[in-house]
C-alpha cells in the first residue's frame, strides 16, 4: 500500500508530507506533521538564521530514537527549486550542501526527518569568508544553564565595550549561543583567532567560571568558551532549530532582558510557535549591521599570537600547538 500523506502549501510550493502521523518524539507524542508545521510556523525567523547559508542536516527518519544521519551533501535527486552551495572541508574535499532560500526548503527537509539545521557562518556567494562570529557558551559537567547565563552576561559586557552588538539564543540544551554579524573580510583562520582572543578576554574576567581549555581534563567545573566553533566546517544549531531530544526543545532567540530569568525548558516545539506569533523574531535586527574583528585580532597579537588546538579531524595547522592532551604529554 502507498504511504499515507498530506500536502501543505508553503509559499508557492506544495510540500508532500509522507507518514504524517509517524511519532518522532515518543516522550511527548510529537509527530512528523507537527515537526513540519512547526518549521512553517516559525519560518520567517528560521529563514533569517539560515538564509543563503550552506547547511548540514541532522536527520532522524524513524524519529529521535532511531538512526541519526548527519547529512552534509544533498542528493542529486532533489526538487529543481531546492538550492545548494559548494563548501570545502578541512580535508580539501568539497560538497554541495543545502542552501536555504525559502521556507518551503525547511518543510521539505523536515519531511525527510530533519530535526536540526546546522548552518555554516558564511553565505553561498563567498564561502571562504565568514560573516558571523560565534560565541558558544558550553556548560561542562558540574555546571549548567545558570553558570552559562552568568558567563553570557560577561560576553555581553565585553561586546559592549567593543561597541559590538551580540544576539543571544538558547542552544536547545544547557548552553547559550551569542552571534555577532561581522564584515566578510577575513578567512576562517583569522575569524577563529578573533574567537580565541574574545574567549581569552572572557576567561580573564571570570576565571572561576569560564575556560578556553580545549582538553576536558583541564576545564574543571567551568563553562567552556568553544572557540573552535569558528573553525571551518564547525556548525551550531540554527536559531529556531528543534533539537533531537525527548521533549523537542528549540534553540530560541531571546532578548538580553529575557535572559535574566529565562528557563530553556520553556522553549520547545509546542511553545515557541505561540511565542513567535506574539513577539515575532526578537533577533530580527541581527542583519542590520556587520562589525569589524580588527580589535579582536589586535587582542590576539597582544596575547602573543598563541594558537590553541584544533579539533582532532583537522590536519595539523600552521602555528598550532602540540595536539595531545596534557596528561599523555606528561607520560611521554
What is the C-alpha separation between 241 and 249, in angstroms, rounded?
9
Digitized pLDDT (tens) for each residue of the chain, 332 residues in all:
778 999 999 999 999 999 999 999 999 999 999 999 999 999 999 999 999 999 999 999 999 999 999 999 999 899 999 999 999 999 999 999 999 999 999 999 999 999 999 999 999 999 999 999 999 999 999 999 999 999 999 999 999 999 999 999 999 999 999 999 999 999 999 999 999 999 999 999 999 999 999 999 999 999 999 999 999 999 999 999 999 999 999 999 999 999 999 999 999 999 999 999 999 999 999 999 999 999 999 999 999 999 999 998 898 888 888 888 877 765 55
What is the C-alpha separation between 104 and 106, in angstroms, rounded?
5
- pLDDT at site 3: 85
- pLDDT at site 332: 52
Half-sphere exposure of 330 (CA within 13 A, CB side): 3
Secondary structure letter of residue 73 according to DSSP: S
- pLDDT at site 319: 85
Tell me the angle at which helices 32-41 and 103-111 cross, rounded to the nearest 10 degrees: 170
3-state secondary structure of 135: strand
Residue 169 phi, psi (nearest 5): -150, 155
Q: Give the CA-trace dihedral at 251, 252, 254, 258, to 10 degrees.
A: -90
Which of 320, 329, 332, 312 is closest to 90 using CA atoms?
312
248's torsion region: left (phi>0), alpha (psi -120 to 50) or beta? left
3-state secondary structure of 49: helix
Helix (H) or strand (E) holding 7: strand 5-10
Secondary structure letter of residue 221 according to DSSP: S
> Which pairing describes strands 54-59 and 69-71: parallel, antiparallel, or unpaired?
antiparallel
Q: Would you list the DSSP string of 263-329?
A: -GGG-BTTTHHHHHHHH--TTGGGGS--B--HHHHHHHHHTTS---PPPTTSPPPTTPPP-S-HHHH
Half-sphere exposure of 178 (CA within 13 A, CB side): 29
CA distances from 166 to 118, 123, 124, 145, 192 (A): 19, 19, 23, 19, 17
Structural domains of the chain in order of their starting residue, each with its CATH number: 5-125 (3.90.920.10), 132-234+288-303 (3.90.920.10)
- pLDDT at site 35: 98
- pLDDT at site 329: 67
- pLDDT at site 242: 98
CB-based burial of residue 112 (10 Å sphere; 0-12 exposed, 13-18 middle, 19+ buried)?
Answer: middle
The model's pTM? 0.96
Q: Which three cell numbers stand for residue 82?
A: 531546492
Amino acid at each position: 500500500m502507498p504511504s499515507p500523506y498530506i500536502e501543505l502549501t508553503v509559499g508557492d510550493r506544495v510540500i508532500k508530507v509522507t507518514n504524517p502521523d509517524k511519532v518522532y518524539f515518543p516522550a511527548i507524542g510529537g509527530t512528523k506533521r507537527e515537526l513540519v508545521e512547526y518549521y512553517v510556523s516559525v519560518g520567517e525567523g528560521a529563514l533569517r538564521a539560515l538564509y543563503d547559508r550552506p547547511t548540514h542536516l541532522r536527520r532522524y527518519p524513524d524519529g529521535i530514537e532511531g538512526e541519526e544521519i548527519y547529512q552534509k551533501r544533498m542528493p542529486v535527486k532533489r526538487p529543481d527549486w531546492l538550492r545548494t552551495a559548494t563548501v570545502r572541508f578541512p580535508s580539501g574535499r568539497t560538497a554541495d550542501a543545502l542552501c536555504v532560500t525559502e521556507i518551503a526548503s525547511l518543510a521539505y527537509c523536515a519531511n525527510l526527518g530533519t530535526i536540526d539545521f546546522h548552518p555554516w557562518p558564511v553565505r553561498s556567494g563567498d564561502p571562504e569568508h565568514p560573516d558571523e562570529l560565534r560565541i558558544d557558551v558550553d556548560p561542562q559537567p558540574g555546571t549548567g544553564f545558570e553558570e552559562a547565563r552568568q558567563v553570557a552576561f560577561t560576553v555581553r559586557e565585553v561586546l559592549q565595550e567593543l561597541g559590538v552588538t551580540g544576539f543571544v539564543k538558547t542552544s536547545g540544551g544547557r548552553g547559550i549561543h551569542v552571534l555577532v554579524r561581522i564584515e566578510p573580510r577575513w578567512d576562517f583562520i583569522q575569524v577563529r583567532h578573533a574567537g580565541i582572543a574574545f574567549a581569552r578576554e572572557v576567561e580573564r574576567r571570570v576565571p572561576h567560571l569560564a575556560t578556553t581549555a580545549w582538553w576536558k581534563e583541564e576545564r574543571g567545573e567551568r563553562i567552556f568558551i568553544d572557540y573552535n566553533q569558528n573553525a571551518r566546517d564547525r556548525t551550531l544549531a540554527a536559531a529556531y532549530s528543534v533539537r533531537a531530544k525527548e521533549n523537542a526543545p528549540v534553540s530560541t532567540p531571546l532578548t538580553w532582558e529575557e535572559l535574566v530569568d529565562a528557563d530553556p525548558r520553556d522553549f520547545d516545539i509546542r511553545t515557541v510557535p505561540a511565542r513567535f506569533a506574539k513577539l515575532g523574531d526578537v533577533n530580527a535586527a541581527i542583519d542590520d549591521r556587520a562589525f569589524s574583528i580588527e580589535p579582536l585580532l589586535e587582542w590576539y597579537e597582544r596575547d602573543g599570537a598563541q594558537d590553541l588546538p584544533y579539533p582532532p579531524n583537522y590536519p595539523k595547522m600552521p602555528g598550532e600547538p602540540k595536539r595531545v592532551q596534557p596528561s599523555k604529554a606528561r607520560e611521554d
